Amino acid sequence: MHFRNLPHFTLLGLLTILLSSCGPEWTETKGEDFNLITHTDGPELGYSPNSGVAILTVDRKAFKDLNQNGELDPYEDWRLSTEERAADLAARMSVEQIAGLMLYSGHQRIPGGGFRGSTYDGKPYAESGSSPWDLSDQQETFLTEDNLRHVLFTSVESPEVAARWNNNAQALVEGIGLGIPANNSSDPRHQAENDDEFNIGAGGEISRWPNSIGMAASFDPELVRKFGTIASREYRALGIATALSPQVDLATDPRWYRFSGTFGPDPSLTTDMARAYVDGFQSSGDGGWGKESVNAMVKHWPGGGTGEAGRDAHYGFGKFAVFPGNNLDDHLKPFVEGAFKLEGGTGSASAVMPYYTISTDLDPSGDNVGNAFSKYFIKDMLRGEYGYDGVVCTDWGVTRQDEGMAVFGATPWGVESLTEAERHYRIIMAGCDQFGGNNDAGPVLEAYEMGVAEFGEEQMRARMEQSAVRLLKNIFRVGLFENPYLDVAETTATVGNPDYMAEGYEAQLKSLVLLKNSGGVLPLAKSTKVYIPERFNPPSENFFGAVTPGSWQAPVANELAARYFEPVGNAAEADVALVFITDPQNGRTAGYNAELAESGDNGFLPISLQYDDYRATEARDPSLAGDAREGDVLNRTYRNKLASVSNRSDLELVLKTVREMGDKPVVVVLQISNPTVVAEFEGEIEGLLIDFGVQRQAVLDILTGKTTPSGLLPLQMPASMATVEQQFEDVPLDMEVHRDGEGNAYDFAFGLNWEGVIRDDRVGRYGKASASR
């Protein structure tokens, strides 16, 4: 056949086919912050036109020339496996670049930078004239000079600001070195607040959900999986590709400050929740890794919920975890049977964080050091026995110098005598890959030189590359090398969209647990006259020492209350009183008093779960763990000492309202972070609803019957402080529980609906298994 014999239109068609078969299989769109390349068969590529990165065309497909050498290197080739790309890139990196990759920044506010002070062009943010999405001087320094690529977000001004900050940071790092993108992360940020309001069809800044213990009250792993799926989409729209969660410690000591961040003390429930959470975050649309995936950093290995007497290891007074029941096995289950055995295509949680604690006397060698420093817990057990080859990142601040028993943020437990560089070296050789809360590559490079001196450069370089490969795989898997940039309009449409808000609100309703409904006082009718007394919020301090002054507040806005019933201003006019209180508050340094220590006492105090003053007549003496070093305390007993909580006023408010109401019913809404001794008031009231921290609107929906209560206790309510002292810190569900005037035991998996005690499949699955232990 000769082309000259074909009709004109046929020649044009053939020419079009020939040209199309030779041309690129991609198109490029220029945007405000970045250019976007779309393939007909391949991933989207995003790059900044100002970064110096060019686009290479190979086999008609587009690739980013991240190291700007004019060639397609294996790590730039998105057709290769994650393992091949990570190994190639790690081999190309200098020791300085690997050291930077092993850093994880301190907490960063957007805008505002780090908590230890930040500047913008040398000035405080408020005086700088900078845009809220501009990088601080310190952020530019740790990204460029220290080669840091893992940034921890705290507060962000808005989704738009987060997206624009991400784009600025990614454009900066794309143009330097090997073009490794930033892997931004976040602690949990979806917690509902009391004064949030849900409106059907309305969006918000981010969807609002119960905290972990509240989600555990649903006894529904599928709800947690759904949360993970939605939260991961919102995270990616904010530029966040790693979640510093879930916290799967078994909260086997009811006094622990971080109880509410866990799924409770039950191994079976926590294991199922851990698996569902990680699957939800890591699985993209097809069930495996993808552009909607978020790396999950499961914490805290090998379980941080066994601090002696409930004390927390953020402080020196809480550095010892104890195991009087010899029950480490239960604490490992949420990791090895849950987060490491996923149902989705990602297989296992991509990262693990050890806790600050010294897991006392569990290392057969007798080495009592913080878990991140422990070769036994990381190299021998986590990596060896359980075969874990993902990233292991220390908790924040473990390499900093100890500054005292009650100082927050410096936690080198068990290695206080080592230098900062020596601590880094010990962590690397124990099998960890990354240093939480360290912006400075200097100590990592010093640690490298120590390794070279001990093992030689070849062996130490191989050890550093091993960590680099693990860290890079988590960046490759979620697609950041292809497109780390965000469309601001898409971000604002995704984060807090109405569908996500509705799902979160539904989860809040499922977290509320009805414990008492004497005489059928609930649900409240629309015509009910309800008295809600003001509550005194005592002064408080957060982990960082920021003080919130005390104040009197109305627990429910009158306008909101009026949608549900008829609010009245005093008990005399009311049919029912509704009293809002919180569980006993011990303060941020619960279990220790520095002023007391300065007077010659050991400084240790009980942590109380009751409102009245508590004298610890049954506390153990001597303590199970202690530190014989000068300036520390070996016997940390608090036997016969007195504990006073800051909000005894809550108990007084309940009892005062009962007196004012006379023979009319009183319903208490108890917001809790820890199990609570309710014996002090339960016999005086008719209704008791447990709130793990949700919107008031959700509470009112339950109280008025708009929704039937379905939550179950994911914990035990202790009968007294005596049983709290007698239980073992490492053994789940081993307390005598409170029994109310209706004869109901406030035990794990107990809850009421309008028909009475809930006895459904959830109770059968988890309650019976727990009862058999």
On the question of pLDDT at 2 being above 60, the answer is no
Average pLDDT, the chain: 94
pLDDT at 548: 87
Say yes or no to pLDDT of 200 above 60: no
Tell me, what's the pLDDT at 325? Answer: 98
Written as six digits, the tokens of 439 are 């912006």
Q: How far, in Å, CA of 469 to CA of 571, rounded?
A: 66
Find all residues with CB under 8 Å of 2, minimum gap 6, and list them.
Answer: none
Give the rounded distance of the alpha carbon of 748 from its chain centre.
Answer: 24
Residue 198 in this model has a pLDDT that exceeds 80: no
Cβ-Cβ contacts under 8 Å for 198 (sequence gap 6 or more): 208, 501, 502, 505, 695, 697, 698
DSSP 105: P
pLDDT tier at 24 (50, 70, 90 boundaries)?
confident
Mean pLDDT of 537-555: 86
pLDDT tens column, 362-390: 999 999 999 999 999 999 999 999 999 99
pLDDT at 500 over 50: yes
> How far apart are alpha carbons 64 and 26 in whole angstroms?
13
Segment holding 687, helix H or strand E:
strand 687-691
pTM surpassing 0.75? yes
Angle, alpha carbons 695-696-698 (nearest 5°): 70
Q: How confident is the model at residue 547 (pLDDT cuts 50, 70, 90)?
A: confident
Token pair in block for residue 696: 């008031």
Report whether pLDDT(11) > 70: no
pLDDT greater than 50 at residue 3: no
Distance CA 505, CA 508 (A): 5
| Cβ–Cβ < 8 Å for 100, 148 | yes
pLDDT digits (tens, 9 = 90+) for 38-54: 999 999 999 999 999 99
Write down the pLDDT at residue 735.
98
Which is more confidently placed, 512 or 192? 512
Could you write out the DSSP letters of every residue in 268-316? HHHHHHHHHHHHHHH--TTSSS-TT--EEEEEEET--TTBGGG--TTSG
3-class DSSP assignment, residue 321: strand
Q: Establish whether the linkage from the previous residue to 300 is cis, with ω within 30° of 0.
A: yes
The pLDDT of residue 546: 79
Q: Distance between CA 301 and CA 334 in Å, rounded?
A: 10
Q: Is residue 749's pLDDT more than 50? A: yes
Torsion of CA 118, 123, 126, 129, to 10 degrees: -120
**Residue 548 bridge partners (DSSP):** 540
Check whether 196 has a pLDDT greater than 70: no
Is residue 699 over pLDDT 60?
Answer: yes
pLDDT for residue 16 = 44
Q: In sequence order, what DSSP letters do the residues of 688-713 get, joined into one string?
A: EEEESS--HHHHHHHHTTSS------
For β-strands 540-541 and 547-548, DSSP reports them as antiparallel
pLDDT value at residue 769: 47
Q: Tens digit of pLDDT for each residue in 448-471?
A: 999 999 999 999 999 999 999 999
For residue 203, the model assigns a pLDDT of: 55
Least confident of 45-59, 70-84, 102-116, 215-229: 102-116
Q: How many helices (H) and strands (E) would you count in the chain? A: 22, 31
Amino acid at residue number 629:
R
* Distance between CA atoms of residues 432 and 650, nearest Å: 45
Using CA atoms in the order 693, 694, 698, 700, what is the torsion angle rounded to 10 degrees? Answer: 40
What's the pLDDT score for residue 543? 66
10 contact partners, CB below 8 Å, separation of at least 6: none
pLDDT of residue 17 exceeding 80, the answer is: no
Given a cut of 70, is residue 770 above it in pLDDT? no
Which phi-psi region, left, alpha or beta, contains residue 416 (left: φ > 0; alpha: ψ -120 to 50)?
Answer: alpha
Q: How far apart are CA 116 and CA 264, in angstroms?
A: 33
389, 386, 415, 387: which is closest to 402 by C-alpha? 415
Residue 166 backbone class (left: φ over 0; alpha: ψ -120 to 50; beta: rest): alpha
| Structure confidence by residue, pLDDT tens digits, 100-147 | 999 999 999 999 877 777 999 999 999 999 999 999 999 999 999 999
Residue 275 pLDDT: 98
Instruction: For residue range 264-297, list pLDDT tens digits in order.
Output: 999 999 999 999 999 999 998 778 999 999 999 9
Q: What is the mean pLDDT of residues 627-633?
A: 92
CA–CA distance, 50 with 27 (Å, rounded to integer)? 19
In angstroms, the CA 473 to CA 456 distance is: 26
Average pLDDT in the 678-694 region?
Answer: 98
Query: Could you tell me if 306 and 318 are in contact, meaning their C-beta atoms sit under 8 angstroms apart?
Result: no
DSSP string, 563-578: TTSEEESSGGG-SEEE
Mean pLDDT of 591-597: 94
Question: Looking at 550-665, which runs of residues are DSSP E strands?
Answer: 551-553, 566-568, 576-582, 614-615, 642-643
Nearby residues of 771 by Cβ (< 8 Å), 6 or more positions away:
none
